[in-house]
Structure 1
Amino acid sequence: MTQPPDPRPSGSTPTPQGDLFQKQPPPVGGFGPPPPPRTPPHPYAYGYPQPPSTPPSTPAGRPGAPVVRIIAAAVAAIALIIGVGVLYATSDDGGGDSPAGTAADGKRGGSDASGSVSGSGFGAPGEEKVPADPAARLAFALPAPKVAPGHVDSVVGSWLTDRTYARAGVGEIVGHDPATGRRTWTLRLPGQTCGATKDVTKDALAAVVSENGARAADGRHRACSQITLFDVNTGKKVWTKSIGTGTAVVPFEEPVLSGDTLALGGGLHGGAALDIKTGRILWQPQSGTCEDVGYAGGAQLATVRKCGGRGQEQYEVQLLDPRTGRPQWTYQLADGVRSARVLSTDPVVVGVGTGEGAAGTVTGIIPMSATGRPLSTVSLDPDAYDLGCDVGRTDGCRKIVVGNGRVYLATRRHDGGPTGTTNEIVSYGLASGRLTGDRAAGGAYQVFPLRMDGGNVLAYEDGSFDKGVRVVSIDPRSMKQTELLRTPADDRAAYAVSGMVVGLTGSEVRYSGGRLFLGKALISGPASKDHKEYTAVAFTAGSRAH
């Protein structure tokens, strides 16, 4: 099959200099307040040069892509956070940054010259309504199919609309009535699922990547090469395809949606972008010294690229035109970065990992302007935060949410609270890179942000067996929590929730309109004859808001 011409030929390996973040040792004799940040020697000491007086020449292999090179410098490290007093002794007063381009009445205004960092709009009303009674019942639980002894099967994929809750099974996707769990349709796939879009289009379309055939009796996996686009409400297959043939078939992972484009990362094997309606190939990155590691979708499409061989990797982030693959800007990360992911695409916020174990965490956050310049840098101690980042994933972390000109994240549990340990949701201002005064305490629960709902932060709170779990809406001005749903505090509900590994690798959480759906991506055989395995459980608030 003839492939469309590649608008993004491979470029030369970038040559950034220096370390992006310089790790500071903790104070001797314990963990005191963090030292004051060092004053940068000039306005661009956090990693970007002054704009040239004349337009820069276009680098070879990057037509039309302005490149921003880091002049790396050390930034103040945030000391390990032990206890709430130390955390807030150094925060901004009054909530920190005001979102750029937001008017006094809370409505979105124009962006400034550095690019908007206003996220969803500070204080904008959310769509989730408060039920008359947030006390929920267990609506249904989906039993896991039988798994051969010693095997682990993949059931990656959960999608939710107002009409359907769809879940991947082994070699299939099944649509369910979201109120009762009744099966409404079944879509057969050639093999087990490997990756799925988190989002659904306005037309209720979603995509899944599956293996190209059933697994062998010994459990060996098949190539993750089959792409299927389907209607979540009806189960109708819109199209299915693979790229390449035979041993040259291209495997994919982590599909994302952006506008009318489906982008699929392929790592060493390259990626591809397809038209959602037709499945036509729009563009593919050209193999060479650099490769597209993966993509992050949503309002915009961004990619993380890796250049160089093993042990000499250097990373860059690009904002792409979803239809052509043409970079709108390229930002090259410094030496010492061992992993990179995109935490948000509107605005673009980059998370990087440095040092040992960097592949599964974030040690630094870089908010970007609309023109690809860093607005600030945030240095994080991974021992202080619970971020929910999966190894090898480009599209965000499960416990990091961006909105209101801030990045919201959960601290790790520490001493305090009514049960002896607790944690909080805190935030950093995108424009300043500083910790704000925002604080939503978990109290007797462990809390982490799920997603934005307008200007509100939706959060998941995991309690002990005698408390159940909650979904709350957090007001961005006061950080006051409003309970939207509370699961029963009984053994049956606790057992069902515990099997869903919420917040850990492979967990899938969907909440909308007083309904909470918890799913997991991998299943294995039961631990005992009396043990029941589920692929998903659903809870419905007692008097659901419509």
Structure 2
Amino acid sequence: MTQPPPPPQQPPQPGGFGSPQDQPPQPGPPPQTPPAGGPGLAKSPQPAPGYGYPQAPQPPQGAPRTPPPAGPPQQSGYGYGYPGGQPNSYAQPPTAQPNPYGAPQSGYGYPAQPPTVPTQPQVGQSGGGRKVSAELLMIVSTVIVIALIIGTGIWYANRSDGGKQDTANSSGGTGGKEGDGKSATGGTEKVPSDPAAKVLYQVPMPEVSDLVTTSGSWLTDKAYVKSGVAEVVGYDRDKGTKLWTVKLPGPVCEASLHTTSDDRTAIVYEPAMPTEDQPTHGCSQVAAIDLDAGKKLWTQTAKSGDQLIRFDNVTVSGTTVAVGGTSGGAAFDIADGKALWAPKAADTCYDNGYGGGAKLVAVRKCGQSEQSQLGIQTLDPKSGKVISEYKMSQGIEYAAIVSTDPLVVAADVGHSAGDGSGISDFFSIDNQTGKLRAHISAPGDTYAARCDGISKVEDCRGLAVGNDRLYVPTEDHDGSEAFRKTNEIVAFDLGTGKQTGQRADAGDGYHIIPLRMDGADVIAYKSPPYDKGGQIVSVDGSSFKETKLLENPASRDVRDAETSMLPDRAEYLYSQGHLYMASVYARKPSSSSEGKDYLALAFGTGG
């Protein structure tokens, strides 16, 4: 499960053809419809340089203009049939390890018998709920209601109530279960009469002097909502005109993948903008955002002693906002910001982070380094009381939550993945008893997905869970056509840990990864070869038959923009013929870049 190369640096282009412009309080006219063949990505002048974070050198972007060479290409990154093995680029932080995808596999790369690892299930006790410490928790409530420019929001994310409507998000997703635990039937995504898509609009890359985090995108019935530089903005789903803006004093650090049934979510942000003297102010501010009204409902902080706690992840489950980090976890009511729990002075363990959605699950760490032990705890979202706990084997330092219902955890056992993906094994756990249901070995050179269990806990991409199965993409291998790679999605039974034998093929030159569940079906994205546009497909949960829902234009300009933010790093949302792609970083422009760079792209079919 290797990581792709870092993203290219490209000059930001304010405006851009089809880009939404800043609007006055009333909605302005929609942007022009992009001409056939692409969004018209042109060269642009660079903004003046300024201060910012140091940035690692990055490779050039996009597919080459020439046809395939006569000789075999060298595969690197997500080549998928690009001539000469030219990789597609990804949006990723400069600290990420840009390991290329491994050597082509001779077959489909299914593993043999999983290796034995110490994964004995244990039911642990945690001693009640997480209570607020008056000495350590000093809540600063700055209830700021900002009602700017006509409102609504977007990440049709995994809703914490089970979902009014499932929509794709690139961090994987849960689903495929009815309330009684039986397998769900078909999903809600409609098959369009014509899957050919056009560019609806582009959100231009903000002008920044260096790298700034822009994590977070959501969908509501009315808007596509995307974090920008120290702001959260709601856009018209089809036109891209700005509906509302919530301004913030500093950059957004992290954003919840989940929303409540009434379209509320949560973010973590810095209290001020970075400067040359102080490149970070710490991700200490927790806020709830109403995506329908376009308002920030409240802001809270928590302290350990006299120091503000810095949080690495944020999630929503039910009406609870939970935030975690190496100083411990805290929780607030999403309606009014009331503190539900916080770190306690005498506690020698801490909640490193949480997974949300249908249930709330904590990754709790006790001890130091190789002597540490992780507890995977299913919590009552209101009180923090431990419902069940699975204690992972000592020495597993980090774990990530793939899904909370059914509960699936990923870990790099003994640092054996070897590719920076954070995954060597999956653990299927019973939420009620805390017992291990199944252990799944997933060698990094065989499967292509990634999780950041070190700090973010819930940041897993290229995975989906539903129908009591785990859906995982394989690494690339030779296709049937010369010089073209391909891969497939395979399924594991969460009760037995064994493969089901099902396989969804990407097709020569394509690379397929699951995005989320749609009822019992899997919504997947196919990154394209050098001469095609990307696709969204629905994979039937029983037959694994693929149905094309959307196909992007194949023009070079559009394809270059699309392949600059493939879902291994970028944020992907799909719903009813609409595909939204977004970068999690605003980047400093590069003098070597040939085309425009975008914060977000929107594609749509004709119906």
TM surpasses 0.5: yes
Among 450, 475, 482, the alignment partner of 2:540 is 475
Following superposition, the deviation at residue 247 of structure 1 comes to 5.9
Secondary structure, aligned partner of 1:448: strand
Among 186, 210, 213, the alignment partner of 2:269 is 210
Instruction: Name the counterpart of 1:442.
Output: 506
540 and 46 in structure 1: CA distance in 2 versus 1, 3 angstrom threshold: same
Instruction: Name the counterpart of 2:358.
Output: 299
Instruction: Name the counterpart of 1:498.
Output: 563
Provide the C-alpha distance between the structure 2 equivalents of 1:172 and 1:33, rounded to a whole number of angstroms. 44
Pairing 1:379–2:441 present: yes
Instruction: Name the counterpart of 2:590.
Output: 527
107 and 540 in structure 1: CA distance in 2 versus 1, 3 angstrom threshold: closer
Secondary structure, aligned partner of 2:415: coil
Provide the C-alpha distance between the structure 2 equivalents of 1:261 and 1:36, rounded to a whole number of angstroms. 41
Following superposition, the deviation at residue 494 of structure 1 comes to 0.8
Q: Which has the higher relative contact order, 1 or 2, with Cα contacts under 8 A spaced 6 or more apart?
A: 2
Following superposition, the deviation at residue 499 of structure 1 comes to 2.2
413 and 303 in structure 1: CA distance in 2 versus 1, 3 angstrom threshold: same
Instruction: Name the counterpart of 1:539.
Output: 603
Provide the C-alpha distance between the structure 2 equivalents of 1:356 and 1:253, rounded to a whole number of angstroms. 21
Instruction: Name the counterpart of 2:202.
Output: 141
Pairing 1:406–2:464 present: no
192 and 247 in structure 1: CA distance in 2 versus 1, 3 angstrom threshold: farther
- Please show how residues 252-401 of structure 1 align to structure 2 within 5 Å: 252-265=311-324, 267-286=325-344, 288-356=347-415, 360-369=421-430, 370-390=432-452, 391-401=454-464
Secondary structure, aligned partner of 1:269: coil
Pairing 1:62–2:135 present: no
Following superposition, the deviation at residue 402 of structure 1 comes to 0.8
Provide the C-alpha distance between the structure 2 equivalents of 1:397 and 1:32, rounded to a whole number of angstroms. 21
Provide the C-alpha distance between the structure 2 equivalents of 1:46 and 1:271, rounded to a whole number of angstroms. 26
Following superposition, the deviation at residue 140 of structure 1 comes to 0.8
Whether the 8 Å contact between 2:177 and 2:519 is mirrored in structure 1 is no
Alignment: residue pair count: 448
Instruction: Name the counterpart of 1:239.
Output: 298
Secondary structure, aligned partner of 1:495: helix
Provide the C-alpha distance between the structure 2 equivalents of 1:64 and 1:190, rounded to a whole number of angstroms. 34
Deviation larger for 350-359 or 219-228: 350-359
Provide the C-alpha distance between the structure 2 equivalents of 1:272 and 1:36, rounded to a whole number of angstroms. 41
Give the residue type in structure 2 aligned to 1:425: I
Structure 2 unaligned blocks of 5 or more: 1-106, 131-175
249 and 438 in structure 1: CA distance in 2 versus 1, 3 angstrom threshold: same
Whether the 8 Å contact between 2:177 and 2:466 is mirrored in structure 1 is no
Give the residue type in structure 2 aligned to 1:471: I
Provide the C-alpha distance between the structure 2 equivalents of 1:238 and 1:109, rounded to a whole number of angstroms. 31
Following superposition, the deviation at residue 335 of structure 1 comes to 2.4
Instruction: Name the counterpart of 1:125.
Output: 186
Provide the C-alpha distance between the structure 1 equivalents of 2:462 and 2:263, rounded to a whole number of angstroms. 25
Provide the C-alpha distance between the structure 2 equivalents of 1:219 and 1:63, rounded to a whole number of angstroms. 40
Provide the C-alpha distance between the structure 1 equivalents of 2:502 and 2:344, rounded to a whole number of angstroms. 44
Instruction: Name the counterpart of 1:47.
Output: 120
Following superposition, the deviation at residue 31 of structure 1 comes to 12
Following superposition, the deviation at residue 353 of structure 1 comes to 1.4
Pairing 1:182–2:245 present: no
128 and 435 in structure 1: CA distance in 2 versus 1, 3 angstrom threshold: same
35 and 453 in structure 1: CA distance in 2 versus 1, 3 angstrom threshold: closer
Whether the 8 Å contact between 1:450 and 1:459 is mirrored in structure 2 is yes
Give the residue type in structure 2 aligned to 1:47: Q
Among 214, 218, 238, the alignment partner of 1:159 is 218
Secondary structure, aligned partner of 2:438: coil
Following superposition, the deviation at residue 36 of structure 1 comes to 5.7
Whether the 8 Å contact between 1:143 and 1:534 is mirrored in structure 2 is yes
Instruction: Name the counterpart of 1:79.
Output: none
**Post-superposition CA distance 1:358-390 (Å, at most 9, x none):** 674221112112321111111111110111223
194 and 35 in structure 1: CA distance in 2 versus 1, 3 angstrom threshold: closer
Instruction: Name the counterpart of 1:228.
Output: 287
Secondary structure, aligned partner of 1:447: strand
> What TM-score, normalized to structure 2?
0.69
498 and 62 in structure 1: CA distance in 2 versus 1, 3 angstrom threshold: same
**Post-superposition CA distance 1:447-506 (Å, at most 9, x none):** 000000000000010012311100000001110100111000001211211222x2233x
Provide the C-alpha distance between the structure 2 equivalents of 1:344 and 1:223, rounded to a whole number of angstroms. 28
Following superposition, the deviation at residue 433 of structure 1 comes to 0.7
Whether the 8 Å contact between 2:538 and 2:547 is mirrored in structure 1 is yes
Please, what is the CA RMSD of the aligned residues?
2.7
Following superposition, the deviation at residue 508 of structure 1 comes to 0.6
Following superposition, the deviation at residue 232 of structure 1 comes to 1.3
Secondary structure, aligned partner of 1:337: coil
Whether the 8 Å contact between 2:400 and 2:451 is mirrored in structure 1 is no
434 and 190 in structure 1: CA distance in 2 versus 1, 3 angstrom threshold: same
Give the residue type in structure 2 aligned to 1:169: G
407 and 341 in structure 1: CA distance in 2 versus 1, 3 angstrom threshold: same
**Post-superposition CA distance 1:294-352 (Å, at most 9, x none):** 00001100011111113322211100000001100111111242321111111111222
188 and 439 in structure 1: CA distance in 2 versus 1, 3 angstrom threshold: same
232 and 64 in structure 1: CA distance in 2 versus 1, 3 angstrom threshold: closer
Give the residue type in structure 2 aligned to 1:381: P
Instruction: Name the counterpart of 2:260.
Output: 201
Instruction: Name the counterpart of 1:75.
Output: none
Whether the 8 Å contact between 1:526 and 1:532 is mirrored in structure 2 is no
**Bigger share in strand:** 1
Structure 1 unaligned blocks of 5 or more: 1-29, 50-55, 66-105, 111-115
Provide the C-alpha distance between the structure 2 equivalents of 1:322 and 1:189, rounded to a whole number of angstroms. 27
Following superposition, the deviation at residue 230 of structure 1 comes to 1.6
**Post-superposition CA distance 1:416-463 (Å, at most 9, x none):** 243521100001101111111110001131000000000000001001
Whether the 8 Å contact between 1:46 and 1:376 is mirrored in structure 2 is no
Instruction: Name the counterpart of 2:581.
Output: 518
Instruction: Name the counterpart of 1:462.
Output: 527
Instruction: Name the counterpart of 2:8.
Output: none
Provide the C-alpha distance between the structure 1 equivalents of 2:375 and 2:606, rounded to a whole number of angstroms. 48
Give the residue type in structure 2 aligned to 1:155: T
> What TM-score, normalized to structure 1?
0.77
Following superposition, the deviation at residue 33 of structure 1 comes to 8.5
Provide the C-alpha distance between the structure 2 equivalents of 1:255 and 1:31, rounded to a whole number of angstroms. 36
Provide the C-alpha distance between the structure 1 equivalents of 2:295 and 2:283, rounded to a whole number of angstroms. 21
Following superposition, the deviation at residue 392 of structure 1 comes to 2.6
Provide the C-alpha distance between the structure 1 equivalents of 2:563 and 2:416, rounded to a whole number of angstroms. 27
Instruction: Name the counterpart of 1:83.
Output: none
Deviation larger for 238-247 or 274-283: 238-247
Following superposition, the deviation at residue 403 of structure 1 comes to 0.4
Provide the C-alpha distance between the structure 1 equivalents of 2:504 and 2:561, rounded to a whole number of angstroms. 27
Provide the C-alpha distance between the structure 2 equivalents of 1:107 and 1:398, rounded to a whole number of angstroms. 21
